[in-house]
Chains A and B, each alone.
Chain A
Amino acid sequence: MSVQGDLLEKSGSHDQDVVSKQKMILGAVSVFAGTALLVLLLAGASRLTINSHLKRVRQELAQLRPPAAKLRTAQAAITANRDKLSEFKDWSTVRSMPMYQILRSAQEDIPSQMVLYHFSTAIEPSGEQNSPVCTLYISGVADDEETVIAAKRQLNADPRLRGFCGEVKLATSQRYSGKSWAFALEGRRVSGGAK
Chain B
Amino acid sequence: MIRWADLSKKQKQLALLMLGLAVAQAALMIHLLESVAGRGSSAGKELAMLEQEAEDARTILGQEASIWQNLKQSAAELDALIQYTPAQADRYAWAYEYISSCAARTQITLDIVEEINLSPDDKTGVAGPPFEIQLFTRCGYNNLVEFIWRLEKNNPLLRIKKVTIAAVPGFAQAPQIQIAVQWPTSVKIAGKVN
Q: A residues engaging B (CB < 8 A)?
A: 13-14, 17-19, 24, 27-28, 31-32, 35-36, 39-40, 42-44, 46-47, 50-51, 53-54, 57-58, 60-61, 64-65, 67-68, 71-78, 80-82, 84-85, 87-88, 91-92, 94-95, 98-100, 103-104, 107, 115-125, 130, 132, 140
Query: Would you list which residues of chain B between 16 and 73 have a CB under 8 Å from chain A?
Result: 18, 21-22, 25-26, 29-30, 32-33, 36-38, 41, 43-44, 46-47, 50-51, 53-54, 56-58, 60-61, 63-64, 67-68, 70-71
Query: Quick check: B157 and A78 within 8 Å, CB to CB?
Result: no
A14 to B29, CA, bound (A): 35
Choice from B46, B126, B145 contacting A91 with Cβ under 8 Å = B126
With A18-B7, A103-B144 known to touch, is A71 a contact of B63 (CB < 8 Å)?
yes
Please, could you name 11 A-B residue pairs with CB atoms under 8 Å apart, sorted by A?
Answer: A14-B8, A46-B38, A54-B46, A57-B50, A87-B184, A88-B157, A94-B159, A116-B167, A118-B167, A119-B164, A123-B159
Query: Quick check: B162 and A17 within 8 Å, CB to CB?
Result: no
A5 to B163, CA, bound (A): 127
Number of A-B contacts (CB under 8 A): 204
With A50-B44, A81-B75 known to touch, is A35 a contact of B29 (CB < 8 Å)?
yes
Q: Using Cβ atoms and an 8 Å threshold, which residues of chain A touch B135?
A: none
With A64-B61, A74-B71 known to touch, is A107 a contact of B18 (CB < 8 Å)?
no
Most buried by B among A50, A51, A64, A81: A81
Q: Using Cβ atoms and an 8 Å threshold, which residues of chain A touch B53?
A: 61
A17 to B141, CA, bound (A): 124
Query: Quick check: B22 and A32 within 8 Å, CB to CB?
Result: yes
Q: Using Cβ atoms and an 8 Å threshold, which residues of chain B touch A72?
A: 60
CB distance from A193 to the nearest CB of B (A): 17
Q: Using Cβ atoms and an 8 Å threshold, which residues of chain B touch A99?
A: 148, 152, 160, 163
Query: Quick check: A17 and B70 within 8 Å, CB to CB?
Result: no
Choice from A36, A76, A100, A115 contacting B149 with Cβ under 8 Å = A100
Query: Quick check: A74 and B54 within 8 Å, CB to CB?
Result: no
Q: Using Cβ atoms and an 8 Å threshold, which residues of chain A touch B149?
A: 98, 100
Choice from B25, B41, B74 contacting A85 with Cβ under 8 Å = B74
* 0/1 string, B136-165, CB within 8 A of A gives 1: 000001001110110010001101111111
A115 to B175, CA, bound (A): 12
Choice from A18, A95, A125 contacting B2 with Cβ under 8 Å = A18
Q: Which 4 A-B pairs have the closest CB atoms?
A: A77-B191, A39-B29, A77-B190, A81-B74
Choice from B29, B54, B60 contacting A36 with Cβ under 8 Å = B29
Query: Quick check: A39 and B30 within 8 Å, CB to CB?
Result: yes
A54 to B44, CA, bound (A): 9
Query: Quick check: A35 and B25 within 8 Å, CB to CB?
Result: yes
Residue on B nearest A63 in the bound complex, by CB = B57
Q: Tell yes or no: B15 within 8 A of A by CB.
A: yes
With A18-B7, A57-B51, A94-B159 known to touch, is A24 a contact of B18 (CB < 8 Å)?
yes
CB distance from A63 to the nearest CB of B (A): 9
